[in-house]
Structure 1
């Protein structure tokens, strides 16, 4: 859990820092530091669903090939 928290802190800090350097706006930097990880989390959820579906399909095709041969 500690590793997860330190990674999250690093992610927020980098997102804020990069945005602040690009815009010079502390509010925009703060918003991006909060919004970007939230959007990334939702995207990761759907990525995992697709990834698992593809893996299951490949496994199914692989076992069908073994049975057919």
Structure 2
């Protein structure tokens, strides 16, 4: 596990900062909609937690695409024939 954390440190830090930002925005929106602080905090923790995990794997998938020259060109389209 330590090796995994070391080799993905920057991406995990990016994911953590995104998580904190997402919780803050979600809590503000949930509070504006519900007017209930407890409900806002509960809702704001559930969705961003799932999103943070999904974000990590989304970034890993895109890293594979951008590092595989046969899957996409630099312009973002399919490889030329």
TM range (shorter): 0.5 to 0.7
Kindly indicate which of the two structures has a greater share of residues assigned to helix. 1
For normalisation by structure 1, the TM-score amounts to 0.57
Q: Which has the larger radius of gyration?
A: 1
5+ residue gaps, structure 1, are 63-69
5+ residue gaps, structure 2, are 1-12, 74-81
CA distance in structure 2 between the partners assigned to 1:11 and 1:47 by the alignment? 16
For normalisation by structure 2, the TM-score amounts to 0.50
What's the Cα RMSD here? 3.0
Matching residue of 1:45: 56
